[in-house]
Structure 1
Amino acid sequence: MGALAALTLAASVGAAPATALGQRWEPSWSPDPRIDGVGAFEALEDDRRGSHPEGLPHVYVQGNAYRFDAHLEDRDGSDRMRNESRGMRTRNGRKIEIREDETWRISYQMYIPDTLHATPSFTHIWQLKAPDVSTPLAQLSLPIVNGVPKIQARYWEVDDSVHEVGAADLAPIQNKWVTTTLEFKSGDDGYLRWVLQDGKRTLADKRVDHIDLWFSDEGYNRPKWGVYRSIRSAGLEETYLLVRDLKAWRLGPRNPVPSTPPPDRGPGAYEAERVGNVFEGAAEPARCGVCSGGHKVLLTGGNIYDYTVIRGVLSETTGARELTVHALVDGAQTFFVSVNGADAIQVPMSGNKEAVSTATVQVPLVAGVNTLRFYNLSARTPELDKIVIR
């Protein structure tokens, strides 16, 4: 399907909500895999645990489509695997944010082979999520319902309860290209509409209104494509998913970015989100309305894979220095900090996620440049705002 046909299809899917009358659907994203490659996405979650390096890459361009491989060796934890892309970027590298109370329409073609099974546990092939909330807002999933393999659109509530929007039989759409369109308002009083088409035939067209599709105070929503499934289902095969003709439109003008504090430019201050730092595994910067620089780093700790490294920490002398950690804390949590690869120093913290808390410890620095690795092998850490060296 060409760009004009896809635009015509998306423009024909339903009417805009009454509050949006007079606004136009603004084309916002239309990547060409052969030109943009995987740089069309904000980031990849391609075997981020390093479970199957021989299979890399698991997310790549195949012809005019993006391909997501799922091998039996792949793991993203003890009970699941994940090879996905997340978010959208323009051709010049700008991140595209879906902001609060914005209405978006995303349309694309997908090819689901018959080796990509519906499962009694979970198999997701598209998600809508906020960076700083683990619960998804919406999904396309492949469940088994009353013994029948289905493709199902669903939405979640922040308490992790899940609700069906619509469903169709999976078998008739496998081994062929079909088109799906997801239209939604990202707000506390949002809506979600899902359309599935096989050529000119509409297989599903369902909509739910007055649902919460905004879980993040300062963040944004972003789509994810790929294969994310439980490994605890019998009969799993090595498989893949293909997507092509990706298009996104926004209804009306952009909503403003929430205002955030400026970065700390004081002596010895290092922002956690600073360019050049390392965010490994699930760890990544996210917007934060109360944090210095307007950002924090979240999803650090809980395993050996998810950690943050602050690089370029300067010291004029070798010896003990005072390290003050600034972070958002959910009750009582602990950082482990390894300086230049040495044994870790514990930094216990307490507080709440509405305000920045601090803790101070002594750390051994060398004269020159130092690196500080923040991690926790057994539990999530606080969300790191910045560090200050005295």
Structure 2
Amino acid sequence: MHPTRIGAVAAAATLALGLFTPPAQAAGERWELRWHPSPWRDGLNAFEAAEDDRRGSHAEAAPHVHTEGDGWRFDMHTADRDGGDRQRNEVRGMRDGRGRALEMRKDETWRISWQMYIPATLDATTGFSHIWQLKTSDIGTPVAQLSLPIKDGVQKIEARYWTLPDNAAHGFASYDLEKIQNRWVTTTVEIKSGDRGHMRWVLKDGHRTLVDQRIDDIDLYWTEEQYNRPKWGVYRSIRSAGLQETHMLVRDLKAWTLGPVNPPVRLPPPDTSAGAYEAERKGTIFEGAAEPVYCRICSGGLKTILIGGNTYDYTVVKGILSEAAATRQLTIHAVVDGARSYQISVNGADSIEVPMTGTPDKITTVTVPVPLIAGVNQIRFFSLTARTPELDKIVIS
């Protein structure tokens, strides 16, 4: 959906938040602070996950994402790789003090603010280069971004939203990057996650407002089951001349919601039948991009997505019990769109391929024999060539 209105909004001091005066809002609605993590208290637990050199391309430089002083630091080296043509060291999502994910759901309005330090070595590129993203967990296309492009030969920091049908980015506000490098600046993104949502971007240098711009009537909510969540870090293409080793700092992270928020998706009760192991059970390893997300048709209300396609996105289901060494029947329950395959490895043994064919509106199953040892077993689900089916659970019989 293309914009129907782009408005530059006057900036003003806000006594409560110290950011900017909010637009007109419904009577009784107020901004509620939902998230203000501490690097000392929360560390990386402030986020749902860290994507720190998830391919293991530069292990000797780890960690690439860590706390430093009163904030968080993202290091990027020229050797780092997250695929053949890109680099990524990011964190994703927000967790409150009790460890619960904060979910940006449909028709909710969120305001997220932070201070950032962009050194001169983190320059704009002719390829993609993003320092903040808004994404939903089961769609690869970003919902919104702050990016560092080169426009007409000038380095910029740009606020963008994306349209899903054409997978296209639309910049609606920008500022000269070199003017804010090597200094702390404050940025705020306001998002209404809806079919007719809005996005507002404010950039401030101390008390001086550099940008305050808003765009309305844009689609910023793409899937009913999942939720929007922010990502911070450096994610850039290597197909740009002059890339340097660099870093970025962020601090004073805060998030507010306006008015009521929606409850989490109501999940069906978990499957407790004998021999069943939910993919999202305690102890499961989610490596790389692999992660559990909501699933209305799955037995425990969750499925594991983004397994496979490389060496570093995989899942290991642990704690599988067997009274004796024996060949048992493994039934895989998964959501499959077309024909896809797993490679599975039991207790580190050579892998076997397990093909599955199905449709995304129902659970597909396949049964294969697996050799288990007496005691505790584990099964690794992966693929080096393509994404696998989305794993619901396994049943051992």
User: What TM-score comes out, normalization by structure 1 length?
Assistant: 0.95
Q: Which residue of 2 aligns with 1:98?
A: 104
The answer as to 2:124 corresponding to 1:115 is no
Q: How much does 1:6 deviate?
A: 9.1
Instruction: Give the count of matched residue pairs.
Output: 384
Please tell me whether the aligned partners of residues 260 and 290 of structure 1 are also in contact (alpha carbons under 8 angstroms): no
Q: CA RMSD of the aligned region, Å?
A: 1.6
Cα deviation, 1:63-97, whole Å, max 9, x if unaligned, reads 11211111111111111111111111122322211
200-209 or 104-113: which moved more? 200-209
**312, 322, 334: which one pairs with 1:315?**
322
1:223 Cα deviation after fit: 0.7
- 1:9-20 map, 5 Å: 9-10=18-19, 12-16=20-24, 18=25, 20=26
Note if contact 1:340-1:372 (Cα within 8 Å) is conserved in structure 2.
yes
Shift of 1:8: 2.5
Which of 340, 364, 372 pairs up with 1:357? Answer: 364
Residue 232 of structure 1: aligned partner: 239
User: What CA distance in whole angstroms lies between the structure 2 residues aligned with 1:162 and 1:378?
Assistant: 28
Q: Distance in 1 between matches of 2:358 and 2:220?
A: 28
Cα deviation for residue 251 of structure 1 reads 0.8
SS of the residue aligned with 1:89?
Answer: coil
1:343 maps to which residue? 350
Note if 1:155 corresponds to 2:164.
no
More helix by share: 1
**Which blocks of at least 5 consecutive residues in structure 2 are unaligned?**
1-12
Conserved in 2, the CA contact under 8 Å of 1:165 and 1:194?
A: no
Q: Secondary structure at the match of 2:42?
A: helix
Residue 216 of structure 1 deviates from its aligned partner by: 2.3
Look up the SS of the partner of 2:231 in the other structure.
Answer: strand
Given that residues 74 and 81 in structure 1 are in contact (C-alpha distance below 8 angstroms), is that contact kept between their aligned partners in structure 2? Answer: yes
In the alignment, which residue of structure 2 is the partner of 1:134?
Answer: 140
Q: Distance in 1 between matches of 2:105 and 2:338?
A: 29
Counterpart amino acid of 1:104?
A: W
Report the CA distance between 1:320 and its aligned residue. 2.0
Which residue in 1 is equivalent to 2:41?
Answer: 35
CA distance in 2, matches of 1:108, 1:5: 16
The question of 1:60 aligning with 2:69 is answered: no
Q: Does 1:195 pair with 2:202?
A: yes
| 8 Å contact kept, 1:99–1:255 | yes
1:173-212 → structure 2 map (5 Å cutoff): 173-212=180-219
Amino acid aligned to 2:393? K
Q: Which residue of 1 aligns with 2:9?
A: none
- Which amino acid in 2 is paired with 1:23? E
Give the C-alpha shift of residue 334 in structure 1: 0.4
Query: Is the Cα–Cα contact under 8 Å of residues 130 and 219 in structure 1 kept in the other structure?
Result: yes
Match of 2:396 in 1: 389
Instruction: Give the aligned residue type for 2:213.
Output: K
- 2:360 is the counterpart of 1:329: no
Residues 13 and 77 of structure 1: CA distance in aligned 2, closer, same or farther (over 3 Å)? farther
Provide the C-alpha distance between the structure 2 equivalents of 1:6 and 1:111, rounded to a whole number of angstroms.
25
Q: Does 1:8 align with 2:14?
A: no
Identity %: 62
Counterpart of 2:308 (choices 291, 301, 308) is 301
Cα distance between partner residues in 2 of 1:188 and 1:304: 36
TM-score by length of 2: 0.93
Once the two structures are superposed, residues 122-161 of structure 1 have per-residue CA deviations (whole angstroms, 9 ceiling, x without a partner) of 1100001111211110000000011111000001122311
Instruction: State the alpha-carbon separation in 2 of the partners of residues 251 and 13 from structure 1.
Output: 13
2:18 is paired with a residue whose SS is helix
Match of 2:387 in 1: 380
Structure 1 runs (4+) greater than 6 angstroms displaced: none
